[in-house]
Chains A and B, each alone.
Chain A
Amino acid sequence: DAGITQSPRHKVTETGTPVTLRCHQTENHRYMYWYRQDPGHGLRLIHYSYGVKDTDKGEVSDGYSVSRSKTEDFLLTLESATSSQTSVYFCAISQAQTDRGYEQYFGPGTRLTVT
């Protein structure tokens, strides 16, 4: 198994509070991704990183920010959580670009509930 951990694994928070989710990898992979999984939508990309301090937006980035100050850590922040951000969040990593056949490895997920 690829060395990916996510913390926390479960969190309940109130509307309007800031929340930070952490993804940590021990594989030294260059690319890291944050997805959210919602019923009927599959997984949708929030943000991704292609190197330290290099990040870009995905298709559902509104209300989220990310930071990557070290190769091994990719943080996802909800500045002011809303109920629509209740979801399961997955981090993924890959050694190189997936369209060259490199696999994305997924973390175990974080279940976030915003009340």
Chain B
Amino acid sequence: GNSVTQMEGPVTLSEEAFLTINCTYTATGYPSLFWYVQYPGEGLQLLLKATKADDKGSNKGFEATYRKETTSFHLEKGSVQVSDSAVYFCALTGGRGSTLGRLYFGRGTQLTVWP
């Protein structure tokens, strides 16, 4: 079946540090991959996406590359800010046998950035 495994948190960094949050997936077929971000007390917002192998999604300084050979979609940012503190979710859709349009989410990784 389809599933997403992401790095356990919480992750605590100092401002301007480099961020990596690991995400690997299990799916057959050709899934699309997403990173969503949830700020405190809010719903989820799409951060970036990639719809085919070797695509790189990027937004607000965050990047992730769809690696089919390693079934990974790791999130990176070169210099984090306090305002990046949030919960980050990796997700996929479109794997073979998946429910119409359904997103499969990882458990989420809490990021806290200190000034």
Contacts and interface: CB of A to CB of B under 8 A. Distances in A.
Interface stretch (A64-72, A79-87, A102-110): A102-110
Query: Max chain A CB contacts within 10 Å: which of B31, B43, B45?
Result: B43
Interface residues of A, number: 30
A33 interface: yes
Interface string A27-55: 00001010000001111110010100000
Query: Max chain A CB contacts within 10 Å: which of B36, B93, B94, B102?
Result: B102
Interface of B: 4, 31-32, 36, 42-46, 49, 51, 89, 93-94, 98-103, 105-108
20 contacts: A4-B43, A31-B100, A40-B107, A42-B4, A43-B105, A48-B102, A50-B100, A50-B101, A56-B99, A97-B94, A98-B32, A98-B101, A98-B102, A99-B31, A99-B94, A99-B98, A99-B101, A100-B94, A101-B49, A101-B51
Interface of A: 4, 31, 33, 40-45, 48, 50, 56, 58-59, 90, 92, 94, 97-109
